[in-house]
Structure 1
Amino acid sequence: MNNPLIPVIEEHDYPCTICISKAESEENLGKMMEEFYGNYSTSQDFEGSDILWLYGEEMGEYDREMFHQFGGFINKIYGTMIFKQKDLQYTIMNQCKKYHADRYGFHPASYSLMREFDLLQDDIKSSGRAKSWIAKPSEGMEGGDIFCFDTFEELMAKGVQEGMVAQQYIHNPLLLKGRKWDARMYLIVHGINPMRGYVSFDCGFARVCTDEYERGNVTNPHATITNGLRNVDHPYYVSEPEDEEDENQVYHRYPLTRAWELASENLDDPEPDLEKMKQGVKDLANSLLRCYRSSIEAEQADFIEMDGTRDKNDKLFNILGLDVMFDADLKPWLFETNRNPGMSLTYPVLDEDGVVIQKNSKIATGVKCNLINEVTKILVGKEDSKKFAKCYDNSDPETGDADFIYEKVFRVFKDICGKKLKRALSVHDFITFVSSLPEDLAEDVRSDEIVNKLTLKNKSEITLPEFFSGLEILSESVSMSLPSFLTRVEGE
């Protein structure tokens, strides 16, 4: 009898060699792949390897040289460093929400501190206690320094850090055994331009709070924050079963296939529309990649010049971790996007002295072996995946990317760059661009005033999101919408 908490590891019939880094978690994953799949092998030599699995956030000069030498697939897109910075993510997402509100309703109201401190303060004052908030560091990991608050006074009392972000808390979550939960899903990003995306519905896991959820009470982290390290000290915390599932026990972690079943028990509908939930995630992933694609391309250009060649583009891929929560109406909410989701095969527990240690996880092993197997199936085997659905392809004219606000801004940005795409324009190039506009598109606007409004006075460069804001200032100065303004600029 199969244990529903242990994901079945499926096989395929073509060989694959993964050149893997020396990080311990990746080495362990490589050993597991060799153990469960007879046709997988790992290597420390990228000659003859199908996939180069790099570990770590930053890329150095060696990686730049290696990119041109390696003939297989590489699991890092440099431009996805953008997902490391929550404040930058929120800035770009908010820019998109302003012009495509219907596509970005999955993203809770979010503010970057201290840059948008006044906007957050206004929102808190206007909503009273109708809204609660969750604060977290821009580049935080493992749930550190996360806290919830209701009022501006509570925020100030707990301390505001530079780069911290604040996000609206959703009060009506879909519960699992009476507890708040979220889903770690995976999004495979293949290439930059064209970029294709594949999102999972069943290859992932749920994280469940230890205490039961009490609507309106955000003071108990064991009931409001799903991170394992924020729940491990609870006396009733059990991450996963040693063997068979005990239905009377609430575990911290479930594979998604089991989480769908358990969550549906909390719905009045005897046959909940799980397909509606999954389609919502697919739409979310589509809009997410559309939102950030052009910024990723600009950031990647700073690291490696792609030359517009398909072979260079297609060797790059990145696995993103999506942290998604569903409300009682089955609507998905995206709270975080992780550029470098952990590949650890363990879970945290406390030892007899109250120190956090790691134990081997059957759930993590099943989920992550399946994840790597599906990546290999899509890229190396060029097969359709049963666990991942294609959600985005910007080379398909049906996506409508040509009319998307960020792609329109990006076209103007690239035109100013000239033959070689840059990560950022010089402030001088931006001022020259403003000066070259017809009077009716820049009437009574001084380029140095725009630079001051963008707080670029002491900077030498202007990034794509800052350029976006600069064009907004210009369009507002001549009482035009940004889309109309862009149409005129492109027509000049």
Structure 2
Amino acid sequence: MQQQQSQDISPWNQNNQDILTVTEQQVDEFKTSYENFQQQQNQYQKQKSIKLNTTNCRGETRLIRKLISKNNWKEVFIDGDVCWLGLPFQYQNLEEYFTQYVNRFPGMDLLAHKTQSSFYLNKFAQYFPEQYEFFPKTYIIPDEIDKFQQEYKSTLTYIAKPDAGSQGDGIYLIKKLKDIKTNESMVIQQYISKPLLIDKKKFDLRLYVLITSLHPYLCYINREGLARFCTVDYEKPNDKNLRNPFMHLTNYSLNKRNTNFQFYSGKNILDINDGTKRTYSSIKKNLEILGYNNQDIENQIDNLIVAYLQSLLPFLEFNSKLIFQKRVAEVKCFQVLGFDILLDENGKPWLLEVNSNPSLSIEHEIFSANGKSVFEESYIDSYVKELVMGDAIKLAVISKENQEELLEFGSYRKLEVDQNETIFSKMMQLYAYLSGYKFQEYLTSSKFQKLANFPQMTSQQFLKNDYDLLFRKIILKSCNNNQMDFFQFINAIEQLAFRLNQDLEIMLDRIIQNF
């Protein structure tokens, strides 16, 4: 019964109840366009039965096996069409990348890590401020503790997120400087204190983005998603409610323990309801009633995701070359990312976090009065995640050439991501050159000093010997005092341009041309 319900409902296949006045020519054009789309969909969906290797599955096993049964695929434990990895890339999985489609890009887990993603998003915002206004002001602690203390405003609220935390663990709100735990590695963000409320409660969206190729860069967003609600009515942060996680944090792992948690109990999960976890389709109906323009919100969400994906590409390319080197063109990777997005009272979307390993659990935990709990299948999680992962696997195994023709596939639609070089892709290219074309993970002092051999890379004020001093200054806070990672290299290049009084991008172009 549960499975039948999740198969029959689909928000983009339902008839629109609004009657519009259109001409016969427009009707004919629509029919022709729709028929062409259907033929294209049928062409790619009539695939052979996929053999899915589940040897390395973990918590997502139940979902993957449901997909195998639902789609008449075959579960195998060696040499499948698709190899599912429950953990980030590890070298023992290297050969599988050349023989099967694998659901992980090497290094994605690090790029979506709170500290590193905050670092490069801050950098992109510094260089492209108009394109990167979609995430709250963020500080990396302890590295930027001085900067935070200088820019701190007592009228604002901040949210601290431990670097190694997940599922809401260790997150707390700050209004006073003395409340910061400076001995912990974390990111501190400006708290969005005027969120859009539904049923008087704060909520956020978990939307799913699929990357199937780096060359060409093919990215898709799923039309469906989840909304996670707080379980206590929202109030603006004050001294009394600051420590109430059920009011300010939307994490399911926290709110499921509150007696106010509402499980979905209706007939149609796409309808407006009072559940603590809902579908994105349901939320869009709420937003329409509240007077918000769903298309405008969707466009803004698309823009912020595209900007994030553009910032991600140079790093993904580097990691792939680092791991696969000369065989990089042979690998077949795909990955689904979870984007956590908050809408403010004006309907503006804010990117809170990107998860490289979004939960694929299709169960929810029900607590009894004695504190014990049981697990039951969640209609909403099962519906959304079957849609997201089922169509992701089907789409990933289509050839890149055919994917390039597809604007839509199942529950996904393509995002147009600009692949033009940015200043950061040039930095990454230079970083690779300095490590001897071998794409090593770190630079040593001697490799960094190779920059001094290029024209205009020294001056009367900044001599060749100063490179070693700069190197040591940059890596002083590093655990390994003899190596420089790429994020430290960015700081070093910026300081070089400043000390040599040169335009950074022109300087990079000149060096790259001489390699």
- TM-score bin, normalised by smaller chain: 0.7 to 0.9
1:438 aligned to which of 432, 456, 459: 456
For 2:338 and 2:270, the matched residues in 1 are separated by 29
Q: Distance in 2 between matches of 1:417 and 1:442?
A: 27
Contact 1:301-1:423 within 8 A present in 2 as well: no
Q: CA deviation at 1:376?
A: 2.7
Q: How many residues align?
A: 465
- Aligned twin of 2:300: 280
Please tell me the residue identity of whatever aligns with 2:173.
C
Secondary structure of the residue that 2:475 maps to in structure 1?
coil
Q: What's the counterpart of residue 211 of structure 1?
A: 232
Tell me if the contact between 2:168 and 2:251 (Cα under 8 Å) persists in the aligned partners.
Answer: yes
Q: Tell me if structure 2 keeps the 8 A contact 1:87–1:112.
A: yes
Give yes or no for contact 1:25–1:345 (8 Å, CA) kept in 2. Answer: no
Q: What secondary structure sits across from 1:183 in the alignment?
A: strand
Q: 1:120 to 1:204 in 2, by over 3 A?
A: same
CA distance 1:16–1:340, shift in 2 (3 Å): same
**Equivalent residue, structure 2, for 1:361:** 378
Q: Which amino acid aligns with 1:55?
A: G
The one of 116, 128, 152 equivalent to 1:88 is 116
Q: Which residue among 405, 420, 441 is the counterpart of 1:401?
A: 420
Measure, in 2, the Cα distance between the counterparts of 1:442 and 1:320.
49
Correspondence 1:64-463 to 2 at 5 A: 64-68=94-98, 70=99, 72-124=100-152, 127-129=153-155, 131-155=156-180, 159-200=181-222, 202-217=223-238, 218-241=242-265, 250-265=274-289, 267=290, 269=291, 272-309=292-329, 311-312=330-331, 315-381=332-398, 382=403, 384-393=408-417, 399=418, 401-402=420-421, 404-438=422-456, 443-444=461-462, 446-456=466-476, 459-463=481-485
Alignment of 1:485 onto 2:507 = yes
Distance 1:304 1:358 in 2: 41
Cα distance change on mapping 1:471 and 1:441 into 2, 3 Å: farther
Deviation of the 1:152 alpha carbon: 0.8
Confirm or deny: 8 A CA contact 1:111 1:117 kept in the other structure.
Answer: yes
User: What's the secondary structure of 2:493's corresponding residue?
Assistant: helix
CA shift for structure 1 position 258: 0.6
Task: Classify the secondary structure of the residue corresponding to 1:341.
Answer: coil
Matched to 1:164, the amino acid is M
Deviations, residues 202-245 of structure 1 (Å, cap 9, x unaligned): 32101011111112444421111000122123221123227567
- Matches of 2:297 and 2:459, distance apart in 1: 44
CA distance in 1, matches of 2:313, 2:436: 20
The CA deviation string for residues 371-395 of structure 1, in whole angstroms up to 9 with x for no partner, is 12221332224553243222245xx
Range moving further from structure 2, 100-109 or 447-456: 447-456
Cα pair distance change 1:99/1:182, threshold 3 Å: same
Amino acid at match of 2:84: W
* Closer/same/farther in 2, CA of residues 352 and 21 from structure 1, 3 Å limit: farther
Q: Work out whether residues 143 and 227 of structure 1, in 8 Å CA contact, stay in contact via their aligned partners in 2.
A: yes
Give a deviation string over 1:180-200, Cα, whole Å, max 9, x none: 111111111123344321122
Q: Tell me whether 1:16 sits opposite 2:56 in the alignment.
A: no
Gaps of 5+ in 1: 394-398
Q: Which runs of 5+ in 2 are unaligned?
A: 11-41
Q: Is the 1:34–1:40 contact (alpha carbons within 8 Å) kept by the matching residues of 2?
A: yes
Contact kept? 2:444, 2:484, Cα under 8 Å: yes
Paired residue secondary structure (1:425): coil
Q: Residue 370 and residue 247 in structure 1: after superposition, are their counterparts in 2 closer, same or farther (change >3 A)?
A: closer
SS at match of 2:224: coil
Task: State how far apart, in whole Å, the 2-side matches of 1:483 and 1:212 are.
Answer: 49
Q: Which moved more, 1:9-18 or 1:286-295?
A: 9-18
CA deviation map 1:18-60 (0-9, x unaligned): 21235453321123113433x3332222x2x321111113513
The answer to whether the Cα contact below 8 Å between 1:79 and 1:298 also exists between their aligned partners in 2 is no
> 2-side partners of 1:242 and 1:347: how far apart?
16
Alpha carbons 1:83, 1:338 under 8 Å: kept: no
**What's the CA shift for 1:473?**
0.4
- Per-residue CA deviation, residues 74-116 of structure 1 (Å, 9 max, x unaligned), is 1011121223521111111111111011111111111111111
Secondary structure of the corresponding residue to residue 325 of structure 1? strand
The aligned amino acid for 2:362 is L
Q: Within 1, Cα distance between the matches of 2:262 and 2:293?
A: 29
2:287 and 2:293 in contact (8 A); partners too: no
TM-score (norm: length of structure 2): 0.83
Q: 1:243 to 1:284 in 2, by over 3 A?
A: same
> Kindly tell me: are residues 239 and 146 of structure 1, through their superposed partners in 2, closer, same or farther at Cα, counting changes over 3 Å?
farther
Larger Rg: 2
Q: 1:357 to 1:108 in 2, by over 3 A?
A: farther
Contact residue 301 and residue 422 of structure 1 kept, 8 A: no
Structure 1: distance between partners of 2:509 and 2:215: 23
> Given that residues 20 and 44 in structure 1 are in contact (C-alpha distance below 8 angstroms), is that contact kept between their aligned partners in structure 2?
yes
Secondary structure of 2:59's counterpart equals helix
Aligned Cα root-mean-square deviation (Å): 2.8
Given that 2:457 and 2:500 are in contact with CA atoms closer than 8 Å, whether structure 1 keeps it comes out as no
Change (3 A) 1:26 1:42: farther
Match of 1:396 in 2: none
CA shift for structure 1 position 2: 11
Give the residue type in structure 2 aligned to 1:251: G
How far apart, CA to CA, are the structure 1 residues paired with 2:226 and 2:378? 12
Letter of the structure 2 residue corresponding to residue 41 of structure 1: K
Highest RCO, 1 vs 2 (Cα 8 Å, sep ≥ 6): 1
- Secondary structure class of the residue paired with 2:194: coil
**Which amino acid in the other structure matches residue 174 of structure 1?**
L
Identity across aligned pairs (percent)? 22
Q: Secondary structure at the match of 1:354?
A: coil
Aligned CA distance change for structure 1 residues 136 and 356 (closer, same or farther; 3 Å): farther
CA distance in 2, matches of 1:239, 1:160: 38
Equivalent residue for 1:29, pick from 55, 63, 73: 63
Q: CA deviation at 1:360?
A: 1.3
User: Contact conserved, 1:187 with 1:198, CA < 8 A, in 2?
Assistant: yes
